[in-house]
């Protein structure tokens, strides 16, 4: 069934939605995005995603789209128009189209940003088989650029990482730089050792996950010990358990890294508990 999508102020059937071939997200990956999950027709962590979008735009000196203050209403309207019970809303802002290809940014008084949103329906999103069974990851070199804190649409390398994982019979890849894990291809990475949750501290090296912020807050509130520091891939393979967080997965246990089982190779208690707490608490504050 055709979705209704949003493009620059209009709600359109997906087959009628169009942007220019000169759009800078298409030619230069000059765009940023957000993915917000929907559970029970409500938006999870919307304010966090909006705040990060604003930060991404500022860091790239990109104008806010005119409809920035209407984004909550636009998200809600798309949920309604597409009858989304559970799923995701994808939002992308690009620097727009100057009607030609040029490395130099166009004049922002003349060229306005492109704003696109669409829904992805995922019935039962909070009850996926991967959450019960856990996922297997491989490790790959992190060869991405140095501003991974900005949520840009340059996703070729993460996409290649996901394909390498698939080829190896796994679900995802953890990226490693100078021996230390940065993050997953589309999620933040954690290990658990002797009950302590260890995850890399925030910097330009990783995306500042909205789910990460919430999960660490809930973990601390539940008196769990959290240490924000880099960990090596060897330390990860010797951990009791592992997990990842993102808006689309919430918390997924990691049960294997490069063929090495973590603990007994089944989802660990800390990951399971954090998933429960995250879903319970974020549903309470969903809007
Ligand atoms: N990915 N790290 C990377 C590289 C990511 O792409 C993502 C999110 C995260 C987790 O961030 P958050 O908790 O705010 O979703 C961490 C989204 C879901 C995606 O690209 O589909």
212 lines ligand 1 (CB under 6 A): yes
Under 8 Å between Cβ of 14 and 2: yes
Ligand 1 centroid, distance to 237 Cα (angstroms): 23
Cα(36) to centroid of ligand 1, in Å? Answer: 10
Choose one of 95, 121, 147: the last residue of a domain.
121
- Ligand 1 close to Cβ of residue 246 (< 6 A): yes
| Separation CA 107–CA 217 (nearest Å) | 41
Residue 198 pLDDT = 98
Smallest CA separation from ligand 1 atom 4, residue: 186
151 and 271 belong to one structural domain:
yes
Indicate whether residue 27 lines ligand 1 (CB < 6 A): no
What pLDDT does residue 175 have? 98
Which position among 18, 77, 151, 261 bears the catalytic label?
151
Residue 111 and residue 208 in one domain: no
Number of independent structural domains in the chain: 2
pLDDT score of 92 more than 90: yes
Q: What is the DSSP string of 87-116?
A: EEEEEEEE--B-SS--SSPPPTTTSPPEEE
Tell me if 255 CB under 6 Å of ligand 1.
Answer: no
237 is catalytic: no
3-state class of 199 per DSSP? strand
Q: Report how far ligand 1's centroid is from the alpha carbon of 99 (Å).
A: 31
Atom 1 of ligand 1, residue of closest alpha carbon: 186
Q: Are residues 275 and 134 in the same domain?
A: yes
74-78-82 Cα angle (round to 5) = 170
Task: Verify that 136 and 191 share a domain, yes or no.
Answer: yes
CA 107 / ligand 1 centre spacing (Å): 30
Q: Which of 121, 155, 174 is the last residue of a domain?
A: 121
Per-residue pLDDT at 192 exceeds 80: yes
Q: Which residues contact 253 (CB under 8 A, 6 or more apart)?
A: 131, 134, 135, 241, 242, 243, 267, 268, 271, 272, 275
**Triad 154, 157, 160: Cα angle to 5°:** 130
Please provide the average confidence, as pLDDT, over all residues in the chain.
Answer: 97
Q: What pLDDT score was predicted for residue 27?
A: 98
The answer on pLDDT for 277 being more than 90 is yes
- Report the share of the chain in percent with pLDDT over 70: 100
pLDDT at residue 165 greater than cutoff 80: yes
Query: What separation in Å is there between the alpha carbon of 58 and the centre of ligand 1?
Result: 19
The answer to whether residues 110 and 137 belong to one domain is no
Question: Domain range for residue 91?
Answer: 4-121
60 shares its domain with 151: no
Q: What pLDDT sits at residue 115?
A: 98
Q: Is 209 in the pocket of ligand 1 (CB under 6 A)?
A: yes
Q: pTM of the full predicted structure?
A: 0.97
So what's the pLDDT on residue 99?
96
pLDDT, tens only, 175-191: 999 999 999 999 999 99
pLDDT at residue number 276? 97
Q: Is the pLDDT of residue 97 over 80?
A: yes
Over the stretch 135-148, which tens digit does the pLDDT of each residue have?
999 999 999 999 99
Confidence check: pLDDT of 26 > 80: yes
The pLDDT of residue 263 is above 80: yes
Structural contact between residues 7 and 19, judged by C-beta atoms closer than 8 angstroms: yes
Q: Return the H-helix or E-strand segment holding 41.
A: none
Pocket test of ligand 1: the residue of 87, 153, 157, 188 to mutate, having most ligand atoms within 8 Å of its CB, is: 188
Whether residues 43 and 146 share a domain: the answer is no
The answer on 139 and 94 residing in a single domain is: no
In a shared domain, residues 255 and 202: yes
- In this prediction, residues 122-131 reach a mean pLDDT of 95
The residue whose CA is least distant from atom 16 of ligand 1 is: 187
Summarize the confidence of residues 41-46 as an average pLDDT: 98
Give the rounded percent of residues in the chain with a pLDDT score beyond 90. Answer: 100
| pLDDT at residue 1 tops 80 | no
- CA-248 nearest atom, ligand 1: 18
**Same structural domain, 150 and 269:** yes
Statement to judge: residues 114 and 235 lie in one domain: no
């Amino acid at each position: 069934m055709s979705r209704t999508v949003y493009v620059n102020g209009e709600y359109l059937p997906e087959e009628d939605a169009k942007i220019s071939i000169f759009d800078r997200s298409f030619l230069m990956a000059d765009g940023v995005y957000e993915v917000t999950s929907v559970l029970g027709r409500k938006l999870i962590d919307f304010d966090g995603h909006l705040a990060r979008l604003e930060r991404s735009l500022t860091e790239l000196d990109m104008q806010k789209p005119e409809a920035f203050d209407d984004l909550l209403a636009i998200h809600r309207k798309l949920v309604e128009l597409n009858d989304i019970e559970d799923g995701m809303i994808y939002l992308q802002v690009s620097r727009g189209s100057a009607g030609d290809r040029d490395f130099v940014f166009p004049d922002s008084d003349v060229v306005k940003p492109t704003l696109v949103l669409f829904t992805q329906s995922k019935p039962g999103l909070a009850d996926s088989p991967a959450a019960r069974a856990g996922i297997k990851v491989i490790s790959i070199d992190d060869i991405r650029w140095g501003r991974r804190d900005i949520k840009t649409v340059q996703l070729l390398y993460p996409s290649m990482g996901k394909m390498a994982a698939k080829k190896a019979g796994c679900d995802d890849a953890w990226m490693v730089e100078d021996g230390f894990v940065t993050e997953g291809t589309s999620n933040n990475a954690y290990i658990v050792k002797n009950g302590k949750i260890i995850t890399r501290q925030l910097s330009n090296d990783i995306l500042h996950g909205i789910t990460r912020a919430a999960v660490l807050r809930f973990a601390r509130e539940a008196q769990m010990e959290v240490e924000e520091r880099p960990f090596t891939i060897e330390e990860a393979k010797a951990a009791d358990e592992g997990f990842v967080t993102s808006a689309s997965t919430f918390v997924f246990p990691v049960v294997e890294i490069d063929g090495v089982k973590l603990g007994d190779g089944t989802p660990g208690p800390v990951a399971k508990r954090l998933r429960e707490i995250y879903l319970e608490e974020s549903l309470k504050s969903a809007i």
